[in-house]
Amino acid sequence: MKIKSQKDFWAGLMFIAFGMFFVVWAQMNYQMGSAVRMGPGYFPSVLGGLLALLGVLVLIDAFVEEGPEVPTFHFRPLLFIMASCLAFAYLLKPLGLVLASALLIFIGAFGGHEFKWKEVTILTVVLVIFSVLVFVKGLTLPFPIWPEFME
């Protein structure tokens, strides 16, 4: 058998995986109850089963109907964007808003097509000042501004 639609093939597998996971996890850990008094496992089991079933249908469709290829994944922007968010999140408390924001902007900007040091530096300065004024001073979000050891 030949896969005619790559997109449907992978989407089908994804839905089956999600569906099965919810069914198995719910069956292992939560009570089903009865139709009258549904336990915490009832709704997720039914939905998970339905999702897996739909996944199978999508998968079958992948062998029947012609479809486009999956477009190439661009890992560079994806990785840089995710990394910039994570760096910001986990370094905000120890390093403070100024440094964490700068890190986010620089790492994020590396994910784009062109990176100009001067431009990004100016952008960082403007955004950091704006964030400190609006979020910390204006909206009084409880963020540290500078690193712990400096305060």
Residue ranges that bind another protein, judged by CB under 8 A: 7-8, 10-11, 14-15, 18-19, 22, 25-26, 30-31, 34-40, 43-44, 47-48, 50-51, 54-55, 57-58, 61, 70-71, 73-74, 77-78, 81-82, 84-86, 88-90, 92-93, 101, 104-105, 108-109, 111-114, 119-120, 123, 127, 131, 135, 139, 141-143
CB atoms within 10 A of CB 73: 7
Report in angstroms how near the CB of residue 38 gets to another protein at its nearest. 5
Report in angstroms how near the CB of residue 26 gets to another protein at its nearest. 8
Per-residue H/E/C for 19-70: HHHHHHHHHHHCCCECCCCECCCHHHHHHHHHHHHHHHHHHHHHHHCCCCCC
**In the complex with another protein, which residue's Cβ is closer, 142 or 151?**
142
Report in angstroms how near the CB of residue 149 gets to another protein at its nearest. 19
> From residue 17, how far is each of 9, 22, 54, 63, 117 by CA, in Å?
12, 9, 11, 19, 43
